[in-house]
Structure 1
Amino acid sequence: MSWLSRLYQTYEAVSNNPDAQLNHALMPFYHVKQNVQIIVTISDKGDFISARLTRDGNGKLKSQVTTIPATNDSATRTSSPVAHPLADKLQYVGKDFFAKSKNKKDLFALYEQTLTDWCNSPFSHPKSQAVLHYVQKGTLTQDLIDEGIVIADDTGSLAYPSNASDYPESILSLLIKNGGEFDQGSAFIAWEVMDSDIAQADITTWGDESLFTAWQNYYASFDSKEGFCHITGETAPLASKHPNRVLKSASNAKLISANDMSGFTFLGRFTDDDKSIAKQGYQAVNISATVTEKAHSALAWLLTNQGHEESGQAVVAWAVDGSKLPQPFKPILSQETVETVIQETIEDELADDELDEFAEIGESEKVDEHDEQPTKREHHKDIGSRFAHGLKKAMQGYRQKLPNHEQISVISLDSATPGRMAVTYYYEAMPDDYIEAMEDWYENFAWYAFYFDKETNQRHMTIQAPTPYQIAVSAYGLRLPDAVKKQVVSQVLPVIVEGHHRQIPKSIVDLCVKRACNPLGLENWEWEQNLSVACGLYRGYFNRLKSDKKRSYTVALQEDYTSRDYLYGRLLATAENLEGYALYVAGETRTTTAQRYMQQFANRPFSTWRNIELALDPYIKRLNNNRPEFLRSREKLLNDIMSKFEIQDFNNDSALSGEFLLGYHSQKMAFELARQANQDKNTAEKSAEIN
């Protein structure tokens, strides 16, 4: 139960630290969020003052999200009528609603009984008493009609319009049509209570901390069985029920459930029954009502504030004080930050002035057209090293914000059924260990990637480590079942948060590599993402092996690396670039021979390369006539790569490992970086000419 203890501690810490609640307010326990459409203002004596429809800051009609007291049953109500204790729908709080509506059942009695019991208890509150006095008068519906808040027909009863446009700027704009008509009884009502004797700082019921506390103390008294709480170590009223509404996608799912008093499906070694529980509590573990409510409220807040939820599975990492942490399911550095790193690198590149926008340069040497002798050019700086430097700066920022003694927790939840939820993974670490593990993942598994900027409608290159969900899609495709996606995330999550102590499963790496070798079977954007994920996983897998098997691959092109598989990958990328440019010059957009043969090339590189090389002949002739400088640079690069092969390695026709993807993609990205550098230089020169 350490996760429950940490969540309880988090609630206590965050509730006393307003700065930790800048984006999402920590929910008070025994309360829920609710969309409200009508706000009614009354006096502390229970007299009606005014009513209004909710609006946003611009004065437009919009439902208002407020915090309201709730019972365990009302918080999870569906079709069965259960009343909230204070704020609720008009059909519950209006005593005269039933007589003025088409409802088949009067629900006011449920609401009145719940509110009366609270007001008659030692934990009553002046605002709740004022609301009770007013609703018992039975004039709420008529007051709303008189104020023009709700719409009545000619007989004075509530109307059931079918067209909201017939009543502009009305309550209908805030309601959802049900059965072809608008039921105004579904409008949710919240209260404001004004004290006639003193000026109140806050007349609302949804912002009054004393009202929250009064309801919490009252409702906690229902679990009146005193016992030893295993979380606090103190004697307190024990919880007989535990909250749900933790996950948005499975709001009825519970982490703790104890209702197996018949059938004994999950009873196991325990012999609990209703009588023994009432007398001595549960045999397994006792948790106080306050602790379980606070812990569940903290978990829901954490998931909303900094967690991630998808298909009933949720993951969040947090510190007890509520500080923001790097999360294991998304990149640490923003795409714009990483793109700046790339931009700084390509600004250092030399570009050939005579090549047009598509004429990319990837070799470390280029031919000078005057003396036809190779001249050295500055090699591009290691983008991976620059990315690592930016990463370290970001992680250092997190380290400075976290106290050294602060505990870091990571939890993964999964809702297999609508009513049950489980903790599938829980891990605790000290701040330095967690930051180091996250840094290790994003540094060792980082690779080139592309993203699409919706605002500018442009495609940009970045560097990032794949997320667990990207890995799942790359391994099994876009249409993978939720169960498979959850399984992959469960396998990858420990690899991220536990650092070099955990290795990425080789089976996942192999699946991603296999799918990345088949560009014709996927949309181009999907294949590019798969290729990026496969390269990142393969690189990270070998970076984490023991010293005798470890291979230190870099993100940038390793021109001095002479591995057979890596060199074959570079050959394929260069052939693809050469043919692609020839097609570009001719105005053609079809797939290159290298892409069509990629899967076959991965299985039989030596024999397949011969076919690719022969297919390049017409494109070489075309470029020799149109772009001889570009052709000479590419032919030189092909010769340079070929010269690095050992003869026996080049003639080896056995299948290539995933390493060939690293050589292939690094060479492609070297071309892309040079293209960007050349394009930026041309843009700068044109701008200078204009100025």
Structure 2
Amino acid sequence: MNWLVHLNTTYEQNTDQIGKFEKKRNGSEYALIPVSHTTQSAHIEVNLDGKGGFVSAKVVDKSDAGTIIPCTEASASRTSAPVPHPLFDKLVYVAGDYAQYCDPPKGTPHEDYIEQLRSWCESAAAHPKVQAVYQYLAAGTLMTDLIRAKVLKVDDENRLIEKWTPAMEVKYGEKPELFKVIASDQSASFVRFAVQVPGEPEDRLWRDSSVQQAFIQFYELKLTEIDTCYVTGEQLPYADKHASRIRNSADKSKLISANDTSGFTFRGRFRTSRDAAAVSYEVSQKAHNALKWLIDRQGYTIDGKVFLVWGTEQLDVPDLFADSFTLYQDQDSEQSDGDRTRKEFANQIRKAIGGYRYSGDYKSNVIIMILDAATPGRMSIVYYRDMNKELFLDRLEAWHETCCWRHTHKKDENNQTVTFFGAPATKDIALAAYGSRANDKVVKGLIERMLPSIIDARKIPIDIVRSAISRASNPVGMDEWEWEKTLGIACALVSKTYEKGGFTVTLDTQCTDRSYLFGRMLAIADVLERRALSKTEEKRATNAIRYMNAFAQRPGRTWTTIQASIQPYQARLGTEAGYYNRLLDEVGSQLKVEDFTDKSLSGLYLLGFYSQRYDLYTSKKQKEEASDQENTDHEEGEM
């Protein structure tokens, strides 16, 4: 029940945000929903006057379709059964003249809707704007008015058109706006209402807090069945059914469900579902609404799986799945150009994460939750972690400092190359390990598997590291920018795997590891040939790059081939090749005779390759500046 406790607390701590709409990156809106309400995408908006007279109607744009609607326990959980929402609903419920233009519905949906609305309007919690809607809908002219307003389209037989085809366009003209926003036929349109009252600042009923409070008061009178709530320990009205639409307005999956009284959901263990657990209506509503809000606000969804992280006291926490570049951006920190010292990078990471720390908050926790649905109706919490906030920040800081390398990505608005120093994003790790065409199921599985490595300081699963090394060793099949990105990520994973070795981007000339030395030799051959090709402006892969995969598998035999291949380029460079030749001899002399075999190389060869190549492309001036900075950092540390 911990997750319900934390979500209920989060709701109560953010009551000032109830009903306040915010925009997502895609332009759609979301808000913290009041109790006894849910969300639905509306297709049609009807404007009435204060006396219930029809004023106008329009098709709702997709970006503005999000609507907070009053709901009952039964209507929030409805599937195929005709259970009306109290105020806003589909045409089959709200339109009294539905049967004039469509096939008659099963049951009595409109009569049930009108009876429920009348009950609200005659109660002590009646609202004048809701009464105006009731007066209008009781007349039964909604669809006729919508057809006259050219919101709905009928055919020659005065029947609602189910599907818009090219033949319809030839016959009736331009495609109606409603068909552009609805996936099914017009009869499934969801309708919301606005009531224009002089002097009232808000005519949109789905955003009018007084209408929302009126329904909450009305519905509370109907909740009479009391039981002990397992979350609060108090005697409160019991929730018989729990909310759906958790991930989005079309989501039918539930986290809590026990409606199968004839199957084997709880038979044999409990007499009723309450014997297993009883959750009060208020707690269920608050917890589920808080969860929906948090998912919209800061959740990350891929292929239906939701990754959510939030703080119990301070909602915003560093993005657990982002790279270091995003962390800098979120904190408006000065960007690193990737050519700075490790000390400077560590200070930058601490500064970015330090922005989320504050004194006196010793009891604050961070909740990590992953949700997924195996079937359309059932959702589960596949991962749940409640950890101290300071420990969370310490582990995240350690991750960014230890799984770090120099990265080259296409990340800015103009699709330009951005270079930064730090840890890669988990999604980028998945694409580096399995390719840009990896399906979402593979990606979401890897992201979940990476969690223990980030927040528990465990080793990265070795199969992920090996996959990244394998792809980084095959540059020929990728664009140059994609390979550079994959290479940087693979180096970060290898560096983290061999963390005790203390490998950095800076070249380690004292390292005598066989794989590292072979990687250095490959980099020297690559730079030598590339320099020769640049003189004739040839743009193609070097022999070192072409043979990279074979070199990683059989370094002894392949190096002989590469060395023979670069001889023409050594001759083309003339005296300029002397430096590279001496460097090759220097690195090669560090290899022992028994090391020069065809035994495959470990991932350390990528670190040697990257560091040697980066060292050769870095100017002498830049190296001196970096060295001076390191000396300054060392002196400051001693003071």
2:295 counterpart of 1:303: yes
1:20/1:323 contact within 8 Å kept:
no
2:574 counterpart of 1:568: no
Superposed CA offset, 1:181-232 (max 9, x none): x73x444332233457xx3232321122232233335446665421111111
In structure 2, what is the Cα distance between the partners aligned to 1:164 and 1:497?
A: 60
1:29/1:293 contact within 8 Å kept:
yes
Q: Which residue of 2 aligns with 1:227?
A: 227
Q: Which residue of 1 aligns with 2:627?
A: none
2:376 counterpart of 1:418: yes
In structure 2, what is the Cα distance between the partners aligned to 1:401 and 1:246?
A: 34
Secondary structure at the aligned position of 2:356 is classed as: helix
2:91/2:189 contact within 8 Å kept:
yes
Q: Which residue of 2 aligns with 1:651?
A: 596
Among candidates 461, 473, 492, match of residue 517 of structure 1: 473
For the structure 1 residues 259 and 173, does the alpha-carbon distance in structure 2 shift closer, same or farther, using more than 3 Å as the test?
closer
Q: CA deviation at 1:602?
A: 2.1
Superposed CA offset, 1:594-615 (max 9, x none): 2232233223333432222121
Secondary structure at the aligned position of 2:275 is classed as: coil
1:175/1:187 contact within 8 Å kept:
no
In structure 1, what is the Cα distance between the partners aligned to 2:400 and 2:155?
A: 64
Secondary structure at the aligned position of 2:374 is classed as: strand
For the structure 1 residues 94 and 558, does the alpha-carbon distance in structure 2 shift closer, same or farther, using more than 3 Å as the test?
same
2:38 counterpart of 1:32: yes
In structure 1, what is the Cα distance between the partners aligned to 2:417 and 2:433?
A: 24
For the structure 1 residues 268 and 50, does the alpha-carbon distance in structure 2 shift closer, same or farther, using more than 3 Å as the test?
closer
Q: Which residue of 2 aligns with 1:374?
A: none
Which amino acid is the alignment partner of residue 239 of structure 2?
Answer: A
1:53/1:171 contact within 8 Å kept:
no
In structure 2, what is the Cα distance between the partners aligned to 1:248 and 1:19?
A: 17
For the structure 1 residues 510 and 636, does the alpha-carbon distance in structure 2 shift closer, same or farther, using more than 3 Å as the test?
same
| Correspondence 1:523-672 to 2 at 5 A | 524-543=480-499, 550-624=500-574, 628-629=575-576, 631-643=577-589, 645-648=590-593, 650-651=595-596, 653-671=598-616
2:181 counterpart of 1:200: no
Which amino acid is the alignment partner of residue 27 of structure 1?
Answer: I
Which amino acid is the alignment partner of residue 310 of structure 2?
Answer: W
In structure 2, what is the Cα distance between the partners aligned to 1:20 and 1:446?
A: 40
Among candidates 315, 325, 347, match of residue 389 of structure 1: 347
For the structure 1 residues 410 and 569, does the alpha-carbon distance in structure 2 shift closer, same or farther, using more than 3 Å as the test?
same
Q: Which residue of 1 aligns with 2:210?
A: 210
Secondary structure at the aligned position of 1:51 is classed as: strand
Q: CA deviation at 1:673?
A: 5.1
| Correspondence 1:369-380 to 2 at 5 A | none
Superposed CA offset, 1:477-520 (max 9, x none): 4555655444433321122123x3x3323343233333433334
Q: CA deviation at 1:255?
A: 1.4
2:310/2:367 contact within 8 Å kept:
yes
Superposed CA offset, 1:125-152 (max 9, x none): 3332332222112233444455565567
In structure 1, what is the Cα distance between the partners aligned to 2:343 and 2:420?
A: 14
Secondary structure at the aligned position of 2:247 is classed as: coil
Superposed CA offset, 1:650-685 (max 9, x none): 53553322111111122333455559989xxxxxxx
Secondary structure at the aligned position of 1:333 is classed as: helix
Q: Which residue of 2 aligns with 1:504?
A: 460
Q: Which residue of 1 aligns with 2:142?
A: 140
1:441/1:465 contact within 8 Å kept:
yes
Q: Structure 1 stretch 103-112 or stretch 423-432: which is displaced more?
A: 103-112
> How many correspondences in the alignment?
609
Secondary structure at the aligned position of 1:16 is classed as: helix
Which amino acid is the alignment partner of residue 208 of structure 2?
Answer: D
2:41/2:249 contact within 8 Å kept:
no
In structure 2, what is the Cα distance between the partners aligned to 1:72 and 1:455?
A: 45
Secondary structure at the aligned position of 1:68 is classed as: strand
Which amino acid is the alignment partner of residue 655 of structure 1?
Answer: S
The answer for unaligned runs of 5 or more in structure 1 is 346-380, 544-549, 679-691
Q: TM-score, normalised by structure 1?
A: 0.78
1:164/1:173 contact within 8 Å kept:
no
Among candidates 157, 163, 169, match of residue 169 of structure 2: 163
Q: Which residue of 1 aligns with 2:364?
A: 406
Secondary structure at the aligned position of 2:297 is classed as: helix
2:420 counterpart of 1:462: yes
2:52/2:134 contact within 8 Å kept:
no
2:266 counterpart of 1:267: yes
In structure 2, what is the Cα distance between the partners aligned to 1:657 and 1:569?
A: 10
In structure 1, what is the Cα distance between the partners aligned to 2:81 and 2:117?
A: 19
In structure 1, what is the Cα distance between the partners aligned to 2:314 and 2:76?
A: 26
The answer for unaligned runs of 5 or more in structure 2 is 24-29, 624-639
In structure 1, what is the Cα distance between the partners aligned to 2:478 and 2:360?
A: 44
Which amino acid is the alignment partner of residue 437 of structure 1?
Answer: R
Q: CA deviation at 1:165?
A: 11
Secondary structure at the aligned position of 2:66 is classed as: strand
For the structure 1 residues 145 and 597, does the alpha-carbon distance in structure 2 shift closer, same or farther, using more than 3 Å as the test?
closer
For the structure 1 residues 339 and 432, does the alpha-carbon distance in structure 2 shift closer, same or farther, using more than 3 Å as the test?
closer
2:58 counterpart of 1:65: no
2:302/2:444 contact within 8 Å kept:
no
Q: Which residue of 1 aligns with 2:127?
A: 125
Q: CA deviation at 1:235?
A: 0.9
| Correspondence 1:179-198 to 2 at 5 A | 183=186, 185-195=187-197
Q: Which residue of 2 aligns with 1:359?
A: none
Superposed CA offset, 1:321-375 (max 9, x none): 4532112221253388599645484xxxxxxxxxxxxxxxxxxxxxxxxxxxxxx
Q: Which residue of 1 aligns with 2:387?
A: 429
Q: Structure 1 stretch 333-342 or stretch 485-494: which is displaced more?
A: 333-342
In structure 2, what is the Cα distance between the partners aligned to 1:164 and 1:35?
A: 30
In structure 1, what is the Cα distance between the partners aligned to 2:621 and 2:36?
A: 57
Which amino acid is the alignment partner of residue 325 of structure 1?
Answer: V
Q: Which residue of 2 aligns with 1:315?
A: 307
Q: Which residue of 1 aligns with 2:55?
A: 50
In structure 2, what is the Cα distance between the partners aligned to 1:237 and 1:480?
A: 48
2:151/2:178 contact within 8 Å kept:
no
1:92/1:107 contact within 8 Å kept:
yes
In structure 1, what is the Cα distance between the partners aligned to 2:70 and 2:15?
A: 18
In structure 1, what is the Cα distance between the partners aligned to 2:42 and 2:174?
A: 19
2:406/2:419 contact within 8 Å kept:
yes
In structure 1, what is the Cα distance between the partners aligned to 2:89 and 2:31?
A: 21
Which amino acid is the alignment partner of residue 114 of structure 2?
Answer: E
